[in-house]
Amino acid sequence: MKTLTITQKAAVNAYDKFLSAGTTYGNALQSAARELGDTPCITFLQALATVHAKHYKCNVTLKEDGHPTFHTGDESTRETRHGAAQVSWQRNVRVHFTKSDKRTSKQVDAVQALLTKFAKLTKGEKKRFLASI
């Protein structure tokens, strides 16, 4: 096996730091989310959104409920929305402040509803259904 070049070693080290930083910020956001519970802290979200907007070189407007909108113009419009910043916020920040058990319970309920309906089918209908999947 060939040895890594200086540039490749630098890339490996940078990736290691990236992963460590992701874990560090993720743990910090999870702790903050637990501390806040169901009550959003507008000041905290504004501080995070300001850092986020600075990185993406865009503006941010916070709604009354604390959800930010990232945009390139003076005001947020359909034309000025910054999609990359918004998606990154959803994936990297918002995910820590969203209750995942709501989505899970809906999925479980949907499956249970299907199982209940399946149980009510006749033997022939069940056979036909199973053959179709």
pLDDT digits (tens, 9 = 90+) for 17-58: 999 998 898 899 889 888 888 777 888 989 999 999 999 999
Query: Is 99 strand, coil or helix?
Result: coil
Query: Is 71 strand, coil or helix?
Result: strand
CA 13 to chain centre: 26
Whole-model pTM?
Answer: 0.65
Whole-angstrom distance, CA of residue 79 vs CA of residue 15 = 35
CA 65 to chain centre: 17
- What ranges do the domains of the chain cover? 6-98, 100-133
Residue range 102-128, pLDDT digits in tens: 444 444 577 788 888 888 888 888 888
Contacts of 33 (CB under 8 A, 6+ apart): 96, 97
Higher-scoring residue by pLDDT: 125, 6: 6
Q: How high is the mean pLDDT of the chain?
A: 86
- For residue 40, what pLDDT is reported? 72
